[in-house]
Amino acid sequence: MQVVHSIAQLRTALDGRGRPAFVPTMGNLHAGHIALVRQAKPLGDVQVSSIFVNRLQFLPNEDFDSYPRTLQDDCAKLEAEGCDIVFAPKESELYPQPQTFKIQPDPALADILEGQFRPGFFTGVCTVVMKLFSAVFASTGGGVAVFGKKDYQQRLVIERMVQQFALPIEIVGAEIARAEGGLALSSRNSYLSSAELEQAQALSGALQSLTQVARQGEQPLEVLEAQTRQALNALGWQTDYLTVRLRDSLQSPNAEELASAPLVALGAARLGNTRLIDNLEF
């Protein structure tokens, strides 16, 4: 496995290696990331993972400075999975000047849910992903990139960006990896105390109960959502949103769609200082 730190080194390493199967990450890798790498590996000729904590997608009060940086451990895990190339650029490599050109995603998709509570988040994500895509795929004529479905809205936003800019990149969504008890694996789970880890299972539980009753139509959806939010808050959470949306637009379903369209329940909530997100398709 090669570890490279510059775009030029990356392109040299990719030369003649065929079609990349790319997994972008911010490091601090857990079993969820490893599942992405395993899924990606057979989809291309050369497996590339990136590790870069992207300042542009953090709000000033968020955890950019304290976000765990564990490059050596991450590389050992990636090597064990048969990753071929790790791209781990310094900030001065990806952003040699202030990044004044940015990708502005469709507000209908990107200013709701995560975008409502983390303004500018998807601009930061799209901008760095476009740059990572340029680093990995510009010299290879395209390839495939795998994104976890835990960040449901992120995957959708990236998929639309790729469509609208006609990038020759196939976006594959990977199922959510969960711990026993249902907690979705996340780098931010490492911030939780053992008591909080136990409590944290309640988020996937709340989503599950929402999916079990939402289609029955016995109560208006907003009422069900509010009840589920209150139940989660009563367990010590501060809920940002807990809502049922159409899978492909993330808009609220009408009565007919609620009965039969592909839906997803999405939630974001804080337990102590840790903000977690999760979702369940149904």
Distance CA 24, CA 49 (A): 6
25 part of the interface to ligand PAF, by CB under 6 A: yes
Which of 10, 83, 125, 146 touches ligand PAF (CB under 6 A)? 125
Specify whether the CB–CB gap between 279 and 266 falls below 8 A.
yes
Stretch that binds ligand PAF, among 23-31, 59-67, 200-208, 229-237 (CB under 6 A): 23-31
Q: Which of 7, 128 has the CB closer to ligand PAF?
A: 128
Q: Of 14, 27, 32, 33, which is the active-site residue?
A: 33
Q: Which of 46, 129 has the CB closer to ligand PAF?
A: 129
Specify whether the CB–CB gap between 46 and 35 falls below 8 A.
no
Which of 14, 129, 183, 210 touches ligand PAF (CB under 6 A)? 129
| Sequence letter at residue 31 | A
Please say if 5 is a catalytic residue.
no
CB of 129: closest distance to ligand PAF in angstroms? 6
3-class SS at 8? Answer: helix
CB of 16: closest distance to ligand PAF in angstroms? 26
CB of 176: closest distance to ligand PAF in angstroms? 13
> CB within 8 A of 143, min separation 6: which ones?
19, 20, 21, 22, 44, 136, 137, 168, 169, 170
Distance CA 54, CA 65 (A): 11
Specify whether the CB–CB gap between 206 and 276 falls below 8 A.
no
156 part of the interface to ligand PAF, by CB under 6 A: no
Give the footprint of ligand PAF on this chain (CB under 6 A).
24-26, 54, 57, 125, 128-129, 151, 154
